[in-house]
Chains A and B, each alone.
Chain A
Amino acid sequence: MDMSQYKSLFLSESREYLKTIADQVVALEQAPAERSAVDALFRGAHSLKGMAASMEYGDVVVVAHSMEDLMARVRDGALCFEAGVADLLLEGVDLIDVMLADVEADRECTPPPGDFAERLRGYTPAPPKKQAPAGEPPAEHPAPQAQPGGEPEKAKEPAGEASGTVRVKTELLDHLINLTGELVTNKHRLLNVAQEVASPALNDAVSETGKLLRALHDEVMKVRLMPFEAICDRFQRSVRSLAKKSGKEINFELSGREIGMDRGMLEQLVDPLNHILRNAVDHGMEESAERAAQGKPPRGTVKLSVSRDRDRISIQVSDDGRGMEPQKMIEAAVAKGVITPEEGALLSPRQALMLSCIPGFSTAKVVTDISGRGVGMDAVNAAIQKLGGTLVIESEPGQGSTFTLRLPMTIAIIHALVVQCGNVKGAVPVTGVLRTVELARHQIETMGKRQMFQLDGEAIPLLSLNRVLGLPLGRFPNGILPLFVTEAKGRRVGIVVDRFLGQHELFVKPFGRPLCKMAGLAGGATLGDGEIVTILDLAGLL
């Protein structure tokens, strides 16, 4: 029998089982006696084994089989579900995940470490724990940790092909949204024509088409929505292993996992959120002893909560750790030469906290092995802005910090302010525009080398977008400078352009090679008349 035809189904279903296993491991850590989770875990490993055996992927079979046997011991009461079991199962999940990637790429399978099966087979429960430190709830007693988000889920199975559902390839979904976007662009073209010919009948027809398109767009977007849950297990696992590594005791609470978001967006949120969580565990959280000395519960809490407010998604990461001191942030930034002392003096506490988003800025005294890797807060901020979102940092020294991300539910279609600079047109997502101002030349004040203007009692520096983009400077013959106010380096800046061309509904297309490598561009879009504009990534530019 030719099994190659089943490969993609094998891969997608196996990955669902892996996710189920990882989810249930985490759920069981919160409530080790939950029968349905034990059963689901066992079934997950069992099904994986059966599928891999059919495909003749022997290494996957070996790993899945030993996981199944280990879970059978738990199910039959021979073994308690405890941290050691969880570690082994998650290790197995990671091993299989790597092997699946090999299968997918038609590579030779990375063999599992020879002793993995042996370790599972020979696993014996750890000796009883030594007396827990005073004030800490005994580990066997999970009640104080129980919270809405952390409750064991009702054991879930990978979504099968229940009646009324179909499986669709993700490329097809991407294609659908592309076509819808093209239609929206075309509607604007029609609108332009309708205005030229001044035909009320045509206008009506186009506006009706516009309504239908909006409905179509909403439906297509709904199809692309995936629950936040799809990426949750990674966070649970990374917080867990990070806490373990740093020897801190941390309670991780998750809520809002059912909230739906565009799948493309979810993928791009994994790294930024992981980074924020890492920071929270690694820098934000104190050691138990330090916490106890301050009268805090020795076990710290990190919360990740997702909520929806109409068409915006809000994601909050908060911790009850040591918090950040704005004054210290300013001192560090000045010491590093990121800002001048004068600039530092002008910053509000909230603005000071945003200093961590400036490239090259890190308040950690020593870059530790954990948070030192990968992206910094500047990259986090840039990634969020690229998605059309915003980041706000709040912190209370001694009480903890909260990072709030606000994002559109979907990414493909954005509202943007289109501006002209020299011969170039660019679009700025309105989420990055605090307001627009038409400034008379006499309102400009010169302070040292900088030009500023007053807005709501604050002196705001001016920057020319032409200069940033390397274009000839604008002339402004009528003495009026159009500018928009945005936030950069934690404070407001006025960005002067040649002309505003209005607000547009744009269907954003990512760039392919080579432009995808260009800093400062977040993609492009076609205007109603067929003209192409680039979407400016202000965080990357400024």
Chain B
Amino acid sequence: MIPERLILFILGGEEFACSLQQIGEVMEPQQSYPFAGAPAHYLGLINFHGNLTALVDLALYLGLKSRPLPGKLLVLDPRLAHLALKVDGVSAIIASDLVTGEEPGDDPLTEAYLETPRGRVRLLQLEALIDELENGLKQPPARI
């Protein structure tokens, strides 16, 4: 099922998409605070309407080449997670009827590849991303 509305964003030169419904807000980069013991893709914590929100460098996490800041922050709907994703830029918001083709994804994070007016985009499965990030944190931090 393709979400009704998609937000398209750029990451390491590639075009990505995710469901607009799962995004609470698109923000300009803001001050983040580093925290202890986290893997490198965590840039720190930001305060999003009183929620302490983890900021993840999505390009770094996906192994893509990130462009230096500023970029944009996609803050997930707080009901899903307290998570913000740093991306290189947001390119468009489109309705699903503009999608002309769909191919199944080839990894758990990719729900599908979509043909859109902006070319081929990778539709991210945010639930799977949150699960993966959680699993990555379950190992105890560096031992003494």
Contact = CB atoms under 8 A, between A and B. Distances in A.
A and B touch in the complex (CB under 8 A): yes
A511 B82 contact: yes
Interface in B34-65: 34-38, 44-47, 50-54
B31 to A, nearest CB: 8
Interface in A493-540: 509, 511-521, 523-524, 526, 530-534, 536, 540
Interface stretch (A37-45, A295-303, A419-427): A419-427
Given A182-B50, A468-B144, A514 B130 contact: yes
B140 A423 contact: no
Interface residues of A, number: 37
A530 B54 CA distance: 16
B92 interface: no
Interface stretch (B8-16, B103-111, B131-139): B131-139
B38 to A, nearest CB: 7
A509 B52 contact: yes
B37 A469 contact: yes
A467 interface: yes
B81 interface: yes
Contacts of B47: 526, 530, 532
Contact of A518 (B52, B130, B137, B144): B137
Interface string B108-124: 00000000000000000
Interface residues of B, number: 33
Contacts of A526: 47, 52
A531 B44 CA distance: 11
A467 to B, nearest CB: 6
B83 A424 contact: no
B34 to A, nearest CB: 5
B80 interface: yes
Contact of A514 (B31, B78, B81): B81
A289 interface: no
Given A467-B144, A519-B139, A541-B141, 12 more contacts: A469-B37, A469-B141, A469-B142, A514-B137, A515-B54, A515-B137, A517-B137, A519-B140, A520-B140, A523-B52, A532-B33, A541-B37
Interface of B: 31, 33-38, 44-47, 50-54, 78, 80-83, 130, 133-142, 144
